[in-house]
Structure 1
Amino acid sequence: MESLSVGLCHNKPKKSAATTIVPKDYICTQGDLALIDFVKEIPCEPRVEVVLIDDAFVERKSMECLFQPNAYIGDEVIDCYINLIKAQKHLKCRSGGHVHIENAFQFNFLKRDGDVEIKTEELYPIEDMTQICSVERRVLLYLDHDMVFIPINIRETHWYLAVIHAIWRYKCSIHLIKGLQRQIDMISQRKELKDHRWPDLQVASWPLREIDMGYAKQTDSSSCGLFLLNYIEYWTGDELSHSFTQDDMSHFRKKMAAILLSSDLNKRRDVEILENPTDSKKRKLLHVLHDSKVVYEDEEGPITQADLKKWFVDDWDKIAPIKVSNDGCTNDFLMVGLSTKDMPVTKADSIDVLCDYIMAIEDDTTLEYVLMPWKFNGCHALFVIDHVKKHVTFIDFTPTQDWCKHMTYKRFAEEIIMASKKYKIAYSKKRSGWAEDIFKWEHTIQTGVPIDLRGFNTRYLVLQAMAMWGNDRRMKFVGDAKIVRRNFVIDLLNYEDNSCRYAIPANIQQRLIDIAKKD
């Protein structure tokens, strides 16, 4: 990829105050398209980072939103481009004053802190100095700038920009101001806030201003993230330094992919394709197994691909149709229902699934803990919610990324916030008046678990963890991926409540049981 990036030159983000952005700067060149075509050849799985700019990264799968004309722009892409903007020194000082640009994640904390039903001492216990000091640093950072730009993401729905302007004394969003005001008040009680750029610290009382961007308005349903980034790049405090249109943004979607990939700041420019899925010979090897291929062998003899096809495809088709009961709420259904981050369902749907499961618990007063699988960045992780100790354990089987190695908790904070909201709503249906917030409970990231570098087998590792949790012994995972996958299929086929189990010939059932026992 690095060789394709050589010679590519882009004017965006603006390279200097004198740079004039014209329509062609939003349009891909032949060199841009060649680079994009190269990256498209990289499979979405296994997971490959193709962009790493400062502390923000984009994996190949997340890059797809820039290749699809109507896709919603993900926060990984937003943060990477924001880091490119922040790298331009001239964009830190504009006619409206000095600018601080937040990342796409910070809004979640400001919104949470704006909830008047939660006391400040509950959000920031006096013994938790790490959180308090983190807020103090951020408040002081804001006060040292004339303008603060905060991207707001209404998840999978809309992006827009909130601006706090100290010189003109206005704000452009009321949603996050309550949270910021609470943080300022908390820090001002701890230390005297002086020698700052703001006229006063009562930001909640500043007038709210809705800005008309003129021709730079979105007219489709999916370009809001692209408009957001250009507002951040061009807003001076009272106007846009450059005009742009919906047509420009339609072109900018792909252009941004080329800009991110080819940037000198991208530490992943040297990524290579290890297996080319468009190579017909390799594709055949990957997807077609010869009938004589032996997939398992023991003293009973070999099992070939042809045997599997005969047992579970050809012979299965000859069996009379079987009616499968869909009554009740099983743990399998719970797993599917809660792993919905990348599925087209609403928040209400997810809460309903969790609520149904909790309502099925016969005596909630004796509930000790809940094991809750969660789909996270294309892989699976596990929440262990301990009601007795008021403790949440997060079990993740993927490597810690560079951008959060100094603070591993940062990687999971958004997921815990999201899970806590759904859990609170669902559990309150079972126990009227239950007002606990698991986000406020103590959190631990489980150590000593296997790491799946490619992310292929995390769901199987989650199932192993669920089976072993609570036995008061150190968890021992099966590390061989082939054995894990094979045993998973065998367990499903042999499961006593499998309504289709009797349709499997008895001798094959026994063979499956014998195979499972060998491990």
Structure 2
Amino acid sequence: MFDTFNLMGTDQITMDIVVEEGNVDVGNTAEPSYEVVARSGCSAQLSTKDTDEHELAIESEDSKVSVGNAAKQSHDVVGVGIDCIFNHAKVSTEADLGPQPDVIHLTSLNVPNESSQISSDADMVEQNKQDALDTLIRISQHKKPKKLNVARVVSEDYKCTPEDVQLIEYIKTLPGKQVVVDIDSAWLNRNDMECLFHGDIQLSGEALSAYIHCIRDEEHLLHREGGKVFLENTFISSLLKRDGDPKMLLNCKEDTIEQRVDNYLQSDMVFIPMNIENFHWYLAVLNAKKSEVHVLDSMGQQITDRRDLYITLKGLERQIKLAAEHKELYQGKWSNLDVASWPVIEKITTQMQTDGVSCGLWMINYMEYWTGSSLSDNVTQDDITMFRFKLPAILWDSRLNTKKGHQNLDHNVDEDGQSSSDVQIIDTPCELSKSSNTSHQIEPYISPYVLPAKVTSTNTQELMFVLCTYIMGIDNAKYLKKHWIQSTKPYPISLSLQKLKDILDVNKSMDTDCFNMAVRMIACNDALFLLEDKYHYMDLQFCSITKFGRDPRLRAKPDINMLAKLLECWPDMEYDVSDCKQILLPFSFMGHFTLYVLNMDTRSIYIMDSMPIPSWFKGDHPSMHYIHNIHYIANNMNAAMELANPTWKDDIYMWRRIVPTWVPRTLNWDLSGFLVINFMHDWNGIRLPCICTNGNDLRTKFLVELLKYKDNESKDNIPEEIQEIIRHIR
């Protein structure tokens, strides 16, 4: 069960949740087998026999083995090693490999070329490369998503064939930012597919959406026992959840709301992928005939809090009402449009998932097999585990993948993602890198707003306006990835220009890295040496290590040694936590920030929350609204304090709790992080001064303070013109 959390500023949630009886098969976790089958010293060739069987033959002087399954259809083409084709590399194998496993994972296709003959004819080389690429443009023979002529998807259909492995190994050699899958605007570059190559990473929304679009392409899967089906993707699901916030303005011109609502109302069932942020995926099915919401969760009944589902349903309800204001809606199938009032019924009553990372894979298989009353095909954890590694081949081979035939065989993509080919590049997180010693000047046409050659104004408001206008005007994807702020002590944090630009976006909440950088700036301020009373400032590492919000039965026990390290003094500061009068602990969950101040002298906890306590709260004391958070903090802090301070014998949970009335309040959820950082900066140990709650002012001043960071290790990456403006802002 989730730790209970508070959803501020939202109406009281009332949902009827019904659990249906039923039995579901639970599989065992199995890791895929990895085996090296090819080594240097033999030759590889692609042979085609008159019987229309295709096989990859590997020969040596003493032995001959056949790798791969024979393809029985004359149009089936298999992929072979790129380097083998280009360089005529010799590949060796041991004399006796024994029986071949069902799934063979090659470690690499980069076979050393010891005796290659390089042709002097450039045209011949290019033709060889194109021939090699043609072998990778295969006609899909996968049975997933489930094909019309397939009675049942069996375990073998989830496993990689040797040809799949060859293809996947080729994909792994591509540059990280090269787009390899584009299926109905679901883009995946090489880096995005990393979650499909490793069994310990949760799948991204983009990877899930790409497969959902493949399911959509199977016409028979759009008409099931329960009626006509509409399969939504993860991006639109996130928009529905966003629009569940009553403060969010809806706009039909900027969003295809009317078309979306039409698609839903024309369907008997709408499948919506649900995500508990950075934690868990499950499927929600809107059954219009029954006016019910059916939940298919691979964890069975382990997760009972469906608050995110309620918010998403409220978002859909708002979109339906907005569409109704612009046109007459078809209601032949939906008798009740108040979807947030529909009862929620749990359809999976037995836990099927036995690991902690495959929930997304389970979710898309539920989308593929749910008929409206049951799953059409059996699936186990073993199948799901193997399916992860096959999914890259399925996505590549899809007829919808527009990037399949446009890969750059030279891999001529530089580290910034620019390519001489026609391959599209999409934004991906940059690796943390050390700053260059040379200054990066502003590139031409980076922003439509031109900076003055010389700063003449001394008006702070004017200078901040110039700075923000320039940054908001930057839309060059390459330039936005540059790191403008960086600090490596006590652990690395790097802020790209994109993250700094997002600070000014009124629709975005505080970024974790930006918040942690700001805490570091406060905690390492030299002025703290002058204070008689020592404070210890903590950042969001506490939340990250303890993994607040996860089901306690799913999360690992926090590492107490790591928590105790959070109580050590900051770099270049000299104090011990046992000497500190107060500890300032920020807490964040689902983008909402709260500050807890632990006063060691008075044994008190100050709770500073910028969101007012909801009107539906009926507790005897305001602090009861935060009781679960306090219990969680106290348990972990007590353990950490015992390790960091051997004299510690107290229990924080028993301390007096204070919810001050003088804390600045706002109904804007996204501003809570900006206000909490001000609380930490301005707290004098007794109360807060008057703090501005204007969103634009808070965001602008926060950005300026970050740019003024004197220990910034990437300062040289900031253009001199920007630095000049920063120096003039007081």
TM-score range, shorter chain: 0.5 to 0.7
Counterpart-to-counterpart distance in 2, 1:433 and 1:17? 66
Structure 1 pair 228–2 and aligned structure 2 pair: CA distance change class (3 A): farther
- Map of 2:420 onto structure 1: none
Match of 1:261 in 2: 396
Secondary structure of residue in 2 paired with 1:69? coil
Find the aligned partners of 1:185 and 1:422 in 2 and give their Cα distance.
Answer: 24
* 2:204 paired residue number: 74
Instruction: Please name the residue that 1:123 is paired with.
Output: 249
What is the CA–CA distance in structure 1 between the aligned matches of 2:522 and 2:257, rounded to whole Å? 35
Where 1:209 maps in the other structure, the secondary structure is strand
- Aligned AA for 1:82? I
How far did residue 236 of structure 1 move? 1.1
1:25 aligned to 2:157?
yes
Amino acid at match of 2:170: F
Deviations along 1:394-437, one digit per CA (max 9) or x if unpaired, are xxxxxxxxxxxxxxxxxxxxxxx989999622222338786666
Match of 2:377 among 233, 237, 242: 242
Gap change, CA 1:6 and 1:140, over 3 Å in 2 = closer
Structure-1 residue corresponding to 2:168: 36
The Cα shift of 1:198 comes to 0.5
Amino acid at match of 1:140: D
**1:12 paired to 2:12:** no
Unpaired segments ≥5 residues, structure 1? 278-295, 297-329, 362-416, 442-458, 472-519
How far residue 51 of structure 1 moved from its aligned partner, in angstroms, is: 1.1
Q: Distance in 2 between matches of 1:341 and 1:157?
A: 25
1:314 counterpart residue number: none
Matched residues in 1 for 2:591 and 2:724: separation?
A: 25
The change in CA–CA distance for 1:251 and 1:276 in structure 2 (over 3 A counts) is farther
Distance 1:460 1:59 in 2: 27
1:140 to 253, 256, 262: 262
- The verdict on how the C-alpha distance between 1:213 and 1:252 changes in structure 2, with shifts beyond 3 A counting, is farther
Partner of 2:280: 158
Q: What is the match of residue 200 of structure 1?
A: 336
Distance 1:467 1:248, change over 3 A: farther
CA distance in 2, matches of 1:43, 1:108: 29
Identify if the C-alpha distance between structure 1 residues 112 and 253 changes in structure 2 by more than 3 Å, giving closer, same or farther. same
Question: 2 CA distance for matches of 1:42 and 1:212?
Answer: 40
Q: 1:513 — aligned with what?
A: none
RMSD, matched Cα: 4.1
Q: For residue 493 of structure 2, what is the aligned residue in structure 1?
A: 336
**Cross-structure match for 1:183:** 319
User: Structure 2: where are the runs of 5+ without partners?
Assistant: 1-132, 296-308, 414-437, 439-483, 500-509, 526-589, 594-667, 680-689, 700-712, 726-730
Q: Give, as a single letter, the amino acid of the residue that structure 2 aligns with 1:170.
A: E
Q: % of aligned pairs identical? A: 36
Given residue 123 of structure 1, which amino acid in structure 2 is its aligned partner? L
TM-score by length of 2: 0.41
- 1:354 to 1:466, Cα distance in 2 relative to 1, 3 A: farther
Displacement of 1:192: 3.4
Q: What secondary structure does 2:310 align onto?
A: coil
1:91 equivalent to 2:221? Answer: yes
Q: Secondary structure at the match of 2:403?
A: coil
Of residues 175, 179, 184, the one that matches 1:54 is 184
Change (3 A) 1:213 1:12: farther
- On the 8 A contact 1:354/1:426 being kept in 2, the answer is no
User: Alpha-carbon deviations, 1:441-473, whole Å to 9, x = none?
Assistant: 9xxxxxxxxxxxxxxxxx9999456944997xx
Residues 487-510 of structure 1 show CA distances to partners (whole Å, capped at 9, x for unaligned) of: xxxxxxxxxxxxxxxxxxxxxxxx
Q: Relative to total residues, which structure has the larger helix share, 1 or 2?
A: 1
1:58-81 CA-to-partner distances (Å, cap 9, x unmatched) read 101111111111111111211111
- TM-score for the superposition, normalised by structure 1: 0.56
The separation in 2 between residues aligned to 1:263 and 1:2, in whole angstroms, is 15
1:224 aligns with 2:359: yes
User: SS at 1:19's partner residue?
Assistant: coil
Determine if contact 2:592/2:672 at 8 Å carries over to the other structure. no
Question: Which of 8-17 and 68-77 deviates more?
Answer: 8-17
Alpha-carbon distance between aligned partners in 2 of 1:258 and 1:30, rounded to the nearest angstrom: 11
CA contact (8 A) 1:65 1:71 kept: yes
Q: Which has the larger radius of gyration?
A: 2
Q: Tell me the distance in 2 between the aligned counterparts of 1:187 and 1:235.
A: 29
Aligned partner of 1:427: which letter? F
Is the alpha carbon distance of 1:185 and 1:258 closer, same or farther for their aligned partners in structure 2, counting shifts above 3 Å?
A: same
Q: Give the AA of the match of 2:253.
A: T
Contact 2:485 2:496 in 1 (8 A): no
Amino acid at match of 1:58: L
Deviation at 1:200, TM superposition (A): 1.6
Give the Cα–Cα distance (whole angstroms) in 2 for the partners of residues 355 and 241 of structure 1.
Answer: 52
Q: In structure 1, what is the Cα distance between the partners aligned to 2:229 and 2:719?
A: 46
Greater displacement, 105-114 / 201-210: 105-114
Tell me which amino acid in the other structure corresponds to 2:205. Answer: D
What's the CA shift for 1:199?
Answer: 1.5
- CA contact 1:10–1:25 (8 Å) conserved in 2: yes
Query: Which residue of 648, 668, 672 corresponds with 1:425?
Result: 672
8 A contact 1:350–1:422 mirrored in 2? no
Which residues of 2 match residues 386-405 of structure 1 at below 5 A? none
Distance 2:350 2:197 in 1: 28
Distance 1:49 1:197, change over 3 A: same
